[in-house]
Structure 1
Amino acid sequence: MKKASIITYGCQMNVNESAKMSNIFQSLGYEMTENIDESDLIFLNTCTVREGAATQIYGKLGELKHIKAARGSIIGVTGCFAQEQGRELLKKFPQIDIIMGNQNIGKIPQALDEIEHKTEKHIVYTDCEDDLPPRLDADFESQKTASISITYGCNNFCTYCIVPYVRGRERSVPLDQIIHDVEKYAKKGYKEIILLGQNVNSYGKDFKNGDNFAKLLREICKVEGDFIVRFVSPHPRDFTDEVIDVIAENEKIARSLHLPLQSGSTKILKAMNRGYTKEQYIALAEKIKERIPGVALTADIIVGFPGETEEDFQDTLDVVQRIQFENCFMFMYSIRRGTKAATMENQIDEDVKKDRLQRLIALQNSCSLEESKTYLGKTVRVLVEGESKKNKEVLSGRTSTNKVVLFKGDKDLEGKFVNVKINECKTWTLYGEIVE
């Protein structure tokens, strides 16, 4: 049997699209393998959010050149980097057979047929970036977690981000199609369903029938089955009271909400084109905490954006201190060619960026530890993910607030919900015992 491999870089949208490609390859008679040396078909699903992504992808393509020479493997590149580079990739790497943007992966069978029958030497599909991709079934690696893309593209044009240029304008998937997918995955026994989009809570803005993100969440919660709903990534500007109310009213929706901050400085937020101020963000976060008891907030933060002064950075630290995020994804700003921020004056020195990042990490670590301590003595509902990777003697799972919990139990509990009493709290991990 022929074998296929997919190497995935980047966001959860890419992970979702790789799961769809895996399903396509298997339907074409390929067996999936992680060993690229024995693969007859190798696809790179690429990311272009960070400038350094190209180096990683070029290195892998160089490695694949030798595999292709040895066994004649078909090489494909998809994802945002493929969409951005298009035919330019062929000039550097003529060993590539297929280049296609994310929205074109439904054409993989056609592309493979043309390459295998040598009707075309190279296939490049990077058009239709503003069309809605076809609905494709997915083969997820996890038997517990399924993901569904509810929007494609982005209209926000944050000045540091390349995504709107490579994933096209915002398009929402019809509500009934999403509900159909949720019902299908719930019946298959998936216990966690993740809704994906560059900006999930702007869902439905391109519709004229009144469907919006709050209505979508409400309809998903009506689907029968014991599962939990998560979503990434919302935009603070579009987080409506209606959405907050729906989450508060429905236990099926996870109590972990990702609320990207990016900066605590109103001046920097304006330069980023984020569409909110420091005060508006804090007010929203406090409203969410008040209306949804027990919610855990997480955020993305960029330090060292062009023009960021020490005072601006102190504003960021102030927001982190006041909101007490459960966790943060923290990055140093890096120039991304093709974005407005790349041409801005007052680029920040690397040493200053590194210093600020370390100070931010230290503050967030202390906040995370304080948040962890609030679980001590509580009994929490946990979705069992399986044996801990670091210690096979215990099971690992996650709470509705996305906290990792370790506890003793039978391997047969994998994929089930259990109640765990928390006896010990560390910065990133809780420890407990199963209770009835």
Structure 2
Amino acid sequence: MKFYLISLGCAKNLVDSEKLTRFLMKEGYVITDDISNASLVIINTCGFIQDAKKESIETIFSILEEKPKDAKVIVYGCLVKRYEKVLKNLIPEVDLFLSLLPPDKIKDEIMKNFPTTLKAKVEQQKKPLFTPPSYKYIKISDGCGNLCSYCTIPFIRGPLKSLPIEDIVKQVKTALKQGAYEINIIAQDITTYGMDLYGKPSLERLLKCILSIKKDFWLRLLYLYPTRISTDLIKLIKSDSRIVKYLDIPIQHVNNRILKLMNRLYTKEFLYKKIEILREMLPEIALRTSLIVGFPTEREEDFQELIDFIKIVRFEHLGVFEYSPEENTSAFFLKQKVNYNLKRKRRKIIMDIQRKLVRVKNINMKGRILPCLIEFPVDKYGIIWQGRIYSQAPEVDGVVYITGYNNDMNNITNIIINDYKEHDLIGECLR
């Protein structure tokens, strides 16, 4: 039986989709990238904020139109966890709704409801690629206990559930053996890793175990809570060149009153100091953050405070979300809502500022020689290739378009940056 899988939302969802795919393939199901050949269509949904919910619902309706007449549709994930009863009434054409279960349990439900008769061997199937083979996401924990007032993750995913260190190291070794060069460590908040298993935050312990692998690779850290970035962690990052000098630190806002309403346990002054320490100890560090504009009670002066901070700190990369009121969060009940048009306007203002800051940074990149992870050719002749340097995380930070590369060269090769276009860089391989 052939199945077609769509994964929506974040990289954490993508990891779950990859696991489900592997489990189904081991049971003899065959993955296809052509929906017209599928007997099963599986959609892993996101239900984090309004835009994600809208995308998930639109995707479900689109698939119901597009799929073969006799194909069965299975919808699971975060959206179903939040709205299963509503979805069953709204979209009765879906054959099976499954809540947020571990991938192996989802596999069991699929096998029970839609058993396959003709079983294919895993080795006979083409390995599915949810990401380019050059990098891999490794999810080290699920759930979250931070209880930010705007966030639904604790209600959707539950409390923190860390994977044992030995299991994570095994996943990293497998990914490297399969050809990945970059390992991206992800979770809702990687700095809380191990608190449930080992009684205290254990990210540094985990990283040391990963770094004990005698192999050259990039190790990238994504989603760190500001107050748990310790001096010891910074020293560890500095001590090993395999840890990419890049950190994704969502700060959400900088106005102290707003931060308190968000239940973010730091102040603007703390953020200035932490970023100063990071850039002092790691001069080459590239920082990404995410912000929320239009949080209830956000005044013009609060927003201006955020703008001033961005202009001073000058993040290498930055994303902005418009506040999304979500049921089961304490922020949902706050008064003095910011209207939709003003939220949209504020988001545009910050993105315009960031665009100008990035332009200056990219101009200053011209002439720099840096190692670049080469990923795949952009054109059919192999003249232009796509790659990324240390300051570019997969999918979110832009890429480098490279000339002068051929398959005889290493997948990490030195390039010179010659130009830029918007958020992307243009470079040439050095021979």
Length-normalised TM-score, structure 1: 0.89
- Contact 1:140 1:146 (8 Å CA) reproduced: no
Cα distance between partner residues in 1 of 2:44 and 2:16: 8
**SS where residue 164 of structure 1 aligns?**
helix
In the other structure, the counterpart of 1:409 is 404
In the other structure, the counterpart of 1:146 is 136
In the other structure, the counterpart of 1:190 is 180
Which residue of 275, 282, 297 corresponds with 2:272? 282
Cα distance between partner residues in 1 of 2:313 and 2:346: 19
User: Matched residues, percent identical?
Assistant: 28
**SS where residue 33 of structure 2 aligns?**
coil
Deviation (angstroms), 1:117:
6.0
- Contact 1:77 1:96 (8 Å CA) reproduced: yes
Deviation (angstroms), 1:373:
2.7
Which residue of 360, 365, 368 corresponds with 2:355? 365
Deviates more, 1:299-308 or 1:390-399: 390-399
In the other structure, the counterpart of 1:345 is 335
Deviation (angstroms), 1:198:
0.2
In the other structure, the counterpart of 2:209 is 219
Cα distance between partner residues in 2 of 1:173 and 1:138: 24
**SS where residue 169 of structure 1 aligns?**
coil
Show CA shifts across 1:338-392 (max 9, x none). 2222221110122222222222112111111222233222210000011237996
Unaligned runs of 5+ in 2: 117-126, 393-397
Q: How large is the Cα RMSD of the aligned pairs?
A: 2.4
- Contact 1:235 1:259 (8 Å CA) reproduced: yes
Matched, 1:48 2:47: yes
In the other structure, the counterpart of 2:7 is 8
Cα distance between partner residues in 2 of 1:30 and 1:349: 48
**SS where residue 149 of structure 2 aligns?**
coil
**SS where residue 196 of structure 2 aligns?**
coil
Which residue of 232, 240, 257 corresponds with 1:250? 240
Deviation (angstroms), 1:415:
7.6
> What letter corresponds to residue 433 of structure 1 in structure 2?
E
- 1:319-338 matched pairs, under 5 angstroms: 319-338=309-328
In the other structure, the counterpart of 2:38 is 39
**SS where residue 233 of structure 1 aligns?**
coil
- Contact 2:401 2:425 (8 Å CA) reproduced: yes
Q: Which runs of 4+ in 1 moved over 6 A?
A: 389-392
- Contact 1:386 1:414 (8 Å CA) reproduced: no
Deviation (angstroms), 1:108:
3.2
Unaligned runs of 5+ in 1: 119-136
Cα distance between partner residues in 2 of 1:97 and 1:112: 11
Cα distance between partner residues in 1 of 2:87 and 2:234: 44
In the other structure, the counterpart of 1:429 is 424
Show CA shifts across 1:196-216 (max 9, x none). 100011111123366710111
Which residue of 57, 64, 77 corresponds with 1:79? 77
Show CA shifts across 1:283-326 (max 9, x none). 11111111112111011011111111111111111211111111
Deviation (angstroms), 1:68:
6.8
> What letter corresponds to residue 79 of structure 2 in structure 1?
F
- 1:233-272 matched pairs, under 5 angstroms: 233-272=223-262
Aligned residues: 416
- Distance verdict in 2 for CA 1:367–1:384, change over 3 Å: same
Matched, 1:418 2:416: no
- Distance verdict in 2 for CA 1:348–1:198, change over 3 Å: same
Show CA shifts across 1:19-72 (max 9, x none). 11221232233332233233111111111111243333333333444567811x
Deviation (angstroms), 1:138:
8.9
Deviation (angstroms), 1:151:
0.9
Cα distance between partner residues in 1 of 2:99 and 2:408: 39
Length-normalised TM-score, structure 2: 0.90
**SS where residue 426 of structure 2 aligns?**
strand
In the other structure, the counterpart of 1:208 is 198
**SS where residue 367 of structure 2 aligns?**
coil
**SS where residue 44 of structure 2 aligns?**
strand
**SS where residue 58 of structure 1 aligns?**
helix
Cα distance between partner residues in 1 of 2:11 and 2:99: 16
- 1:30-179 matched pairs, under 5 angstroms: 30-66=29-65, 70-71=69-70, 73-116=71-114, 140-179=130-169
Deviates more, 1:37-46 or 1:401-410: 401-410
**SS where residue 342 of structure 1 aligns?**
helix
Cα distance between partner residues in 2 of 1:313 and 1:18: 38
Show CA shifts across 1:232-278 (max 9, x none). 21111221111111111111111221111211211111111111111
